[in-house]
Amino acid sequence: MTPTETPTPTLTYAFAVCRGGALTALTALPGLDTGASVRTLTAGPLTAVVQDVPAAGFGEEALRRRLSDRDELERCARAHHTVITAASALAPTVPLPLATLYLDDDRAREALGERETSLLTALDRIAGRAEWGVKVYAPAGPPPPAPADGPADGPASGRAYLDRVRTRQRSREQHHTLTLRAAERVDSAVRSLAVAARRLRPHGVEVTGKHRTQVLNAAYLLDLGRERELQAALASLRRDETDLQIELSGPWAPYSFADGGIADGGLTGGGTAAERRTSGRTPS
């Protein structure tokens, strides 16, 4: 830089908080591809994984525009997740929400220091463990046929028509109840292997499609090394619960179990609730 040039103002973007581990390999990652290297930032007993990003492109207004662009949001989310995944392979890692930004390194250290106790607790909770996702679907099936031509003339025909409508409704309700009970059996079996579990809101038809209904969307925190037990349990459940589709994903960085209480600590407050859930992995 020549004497007449001025440094480009930057912000500190934080991906994750770790403890221990050899994290130097992370510097080879492009991160958000801003030209700056991914690096580590020491904050007492904690190590943050960060990157310098241009203030002009990541200030509040610019960030809002960036995250309102679907393609750009997906690109940022995938880059964010890639760094978190790499860090979690090297050390216990608390993932930070997408778009966690600080004015500078000092502000980042200050914010992490304010939450040191909760972050250390979260790191203790997830050390030696990984998150697995289980989703259960029931076939939607063809819609029941409408009563032909409506009720005919006369009170007897009208009663018969209403009886057919009620019978179909009861059948749908009974099928739904049986499906939910089967999903509960899946959840109970996986919980027996996990150290923690979290039920998430089921996805709607816009995600699942019209041909199936999601009846369980859950995350489970398992000790490393229990993958075969989990897969065997789900294989048995698939044999028993033949009407269900049971999907397993993972292992993931423990997004659902690593709440270090820092979602409100950055310049942007960690983004909106929807943005905080966008991680670049299969959505929960």
For residue 178, the model assigns a pLDDT of 77
| pLDDT mean over 109-133 | 95
| pLDDT mean over 271-275 | 31
Whether pLDDT at 113 is above 80: yes
What is the pLDDT confidence band of residue 139, given thresholds at 50, 70 and 90?
confident
Q: Which helix (H) or strand (E) holds 102?
A: strand 93-102
3-state secondary structure of 132: strand
Which residue type, as a one-letter code, is found at position 175? H
> Do 218 and 94 meet the contact criterion of CB atoms below 8 Å apart?
no
For residue 93, the model assigns a pLDDT of 95
Whether pLDDT at 46 is above 80: yes
| pLDDT mean over 215-239 | 96
Residues 210, 216, 219: CA angle, nearest 5 degrees: 130
Q: How far is CA 120 from CA 104, 176, 198, in A?
A: 22, 43, 21
Whether pLDDT at 261 is above 90: no
For residue 172, the model assigns a pLDDT of 65
pLDDT in tens, 172-214: 666 677 788 999 999 999 999 999 999 999 888 887 887 889 9
For residue 283, the model assigns a pLDDT of 32
pLDDT in tens, 58-69: 988 988 998 899
pLDDT in tens, 80-95: 999 999 999 999 999 9
Whether pLDDT at 154 is above 80: no
Of the segments 14-18, 24-28, 54-58, 64-68, which one has the largest average pLDDT value? 14-18
Mean pLDDT across the chain: 83
d(CA 54, CA 133): 35
> Do 20 and 94 meet the contact criterion of CB atoms below 8 Å apart?
no
